[in-house]
Amino acid sequence: MFIGILGGSFNPIHNGHLHIANFVHRTLALDRLIFVPTGDPPHKPATSLAPAHHRLEMVRLATESYPHFVVDDREARAPTVSYSIDTVQGIKHEFPTGTEFGFIIGLDAFLDFPSWKHATHLLEICQFIVCSRPGVAFSDLQSMPLLPPTPQSSLLNLDHQKSHRLDIALPSGNALTLLSVPPCEVSASQIREQIALHRPIGHWLPPSVESYIIRHQVYQ
């Protein structure tokens, strides 16, 4: 089996998240894709971040019609900060030996990857699937620590959409897969701003998520 893991705040989950998840699932022939919403920041409020139980429920609603998507609540229910290394190891223990895992991440977040807890070990225990993000270039990976040298021309082909996938072999034996994902112009911050202004948001969200936001007055 090949299992994808997609973490994030999902604040709120929107059609852009589903677009990326479906693209990766289809392109890499994943058997399952696990959404892992983050928990509440410990000891400090985050005014723009909805409580974890709301974000978790919205992810469940958004994914319930997709049989290949599942939702994992371990980070949302954790009393302390969660680290990706612990989440991945915990998920791996629930699957048979030999199952492969791909950690799905946006290019903007992956550029900060060397600062993550046990980053080198994380590259050893699962594949990374890095998806394009507006305003960020794959060519920025050339100078990134932990990665082997990669021809700039190959990265530029992704940036200019002359190619849509590049697999880079890592010393650990795992692959780093770079994907140029067709753009989907929507962001969670845009949605929160529109909600605050009492403007329509239905074209950016699954109807079940929009109904939940209205019913529970999330972000208002």
pLDDT digit string, tens, across residues 188-209:
999 999 999 999 999 999 999 9
* Domain ranges across the chain: 2-187
108 pLDDT exceeds 80? Answer: yes
Sheet holding 127-131, edge to edge: 69-71, 32-37, 2-8, 100-106, 127-131, 175-179, 165-169
> For the residues of 40-75, what is the DSSP string, one character each?
PPTTS--TTSPPHHHHHHHHHHHHTT-TTEEE--TT
Mean pLDDT of 109-116: 94
Higher pLDDT, 211 or 173: 211
Amino acid of residue 130 = V
Average pLDDT, the chain: 94
> Do β-strands 175-179 and 165-169 pair in parallel, antiparallel, or remain unpaired?
antiparallel
| Residues across the chain | 220
**CATH node for 2-187:** 3.40.50.620
